[in-house]
Structure formats: structure tokens, C-alpha cells
Amino acid sequence: MKATKTTPSCAKPQSFKLNRLAMIPLLTLAMSSVHAADSKEPHDNFYFLGEMNKASTVMVIDTKIVPPDLGKKIVAAVDQVIINGNQTMPEIALKKTTTGLSDSASLR
């Protein structure tokens, strides 16, 4: 009888570990939103779009729809979009005047 080699159930593939590392910024962002939820302030529509983006990013990384390197880029992009969305209108207007962008140029 031939002995078969078994791997321990705790052994995880390398890509699984990378996927978990890619989610650290999203989890940090999610934890900060839990704190915001405690303040009982109403959320705007952008908040819920950010929550959906975070959830869909986790889903595409966990189900291996995207490779780990692309997953990290998506995490960084979603994080930046949420940070930019949290800026007030005066901050956005100041950024446009200092960069010389008009409204139509920023939409492209």
C-alpha cells in the first residue's frame, strides 16, 4: 500500500495570504466607518457607494477574479476615491484653482 502525503489543513496558498494583506487598508477604512456610525450622523449617498465599492473589492479578491497585484491596486484606488469624496467643496475648489483645472477638464 502506497503512503499518501497529506498537507495540514492550516496550510494556505501564497495567493490567499496576499489577498488578506491587500484587504488591510479596506478593513482599516471599514473600522473608521464603524466609528462614524457611532456618531449617529446621517450618511450621504457617497458613503454608501464607498461601502459597496469596498465590499465588491473584497469579493473580487477573495474569489480570485483578479490577480493579487491588481487587487492591491484596486484597494488603493477605492481608498483614494473615498478619501477624495470626503473632502469638502472648498477643498475641491482650491485644488482646481491651484492645478488650473476647470470643471469640464476634471470630468474627463
Domain ranges of the chain: 14-36+43-100
CA neighbours within 13 Å on the CB side: how many for 96?
Answer: 15
Q: What is the pLDDT of residue 69?
A: 93
User: Hey, CA dihedral for 57, 60, 63, 66, is it positive or negative?
Assistant: negative
pLDDT tens-digit profile of 11-44?
555 666 666 777 777 777 766 655 555 556 788 8
Higher pLDDT, 82 or 37: 82
